[in-house]
């Protein structure tokens, strides 16, 4: 079964993949910080979507598709176009590379993010395990 991106079901499956990952549990054991990811509309997808992932010491504390980026408090905001997110979810774009090339924009403590590359890498490994269906 594939999960449509971006939907609440997809976000919940992403959280399930993170919580079942021993590699992320180890890599993220010192991480404290919640994220809001903003999927900006582009020619491939006409709507903006936002989702929240709460992360604390290697586990997801909460995950949901949210109404807008102000719907929850978070320490980090990462935004990019639908096409950029799609490339990341498909394993065609590393998110750190996406940040460095300005395909993604990050609000929050960039230094902390860059000090935790193994945590970011394991989150990407988790997202790659989510069976994802994209709108046509």
Establish whether the linkage from the previous residue to 93 is cis, with ω within 30° of 0: no
Q: Are 94 and 85 in contact (CB under 8 A)?
A: no
pLDDT, tens digit, 9 for 90 and up, residues 102-125: 999 999 998 888 888 899 889 999
pLDDT, tens digit, 9 for 90 and up, residues 43-79: 999 999 999 999 999 999 999 999 999 999 999 999 9
Q: Kindly give, in sequence order, each residue whose CB lies less than 8 Å from that of residue 54, ignoring residues fewer than 6 positions away.
A: 34, 35, 60, 61, 62, 63
Q: Are 39 and 84 in contact (CB under 8 A)?
A: no
pLDDT at residue 136 above 90?
no
Q: Kindly give, in sequence order, each residue whose CB lies less than 8 Å from that of residue 74, ignoring residues fewer than 6 positions away.
A: 33, 34, 35, 36, 52, 108
Q: What is the pTM of this model?
A: 0.94
Local confidence band at 35 (pLDDT 50, 70, 90 cut-offs): very high
Domains in the chain and their CATH numbers?
A: 3-127 (3.30.1050.10)
Rounded Cα gap, residues 8 and 111, in angstroms: 30
pLDDT, tens digit, 9 for 90 and up, residues 7-25: 999 999 999 999 999 999 9
Q: Which of 13-17, 25-29, 37-41, 98-102 has the lowest mean pLDDT?
A: 98-102
């Amino acid at each position: 079964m594939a999960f449509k991106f971006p939907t609440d079901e997809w976000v919940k499956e992403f959280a399930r993949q993170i919580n079942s990952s021993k590699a992320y549990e180890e890599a993220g054991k010192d991480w404290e910080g919640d994220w809001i990811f903003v999927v900006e509309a582009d020619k491939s997808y006409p709507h903006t979507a936002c989702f929240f992932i709460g992360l604390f010491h290697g586990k997801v504390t909460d995950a949901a598709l949210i109404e807008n980026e102000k719907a929850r408090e978070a320490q980090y905001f990462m935004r990019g176009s639908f096409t950029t997110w799609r490339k990341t979810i498909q394993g065609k774009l590393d998110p750190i590379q996406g940040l460095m090339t300005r395909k993604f924009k990050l609000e929050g403590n960039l230094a902390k993010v860059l000090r935790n590359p193994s945590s970011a890498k394991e989150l990407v490994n988790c997202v790659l395990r989510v069976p994802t269906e994209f709108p046509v």
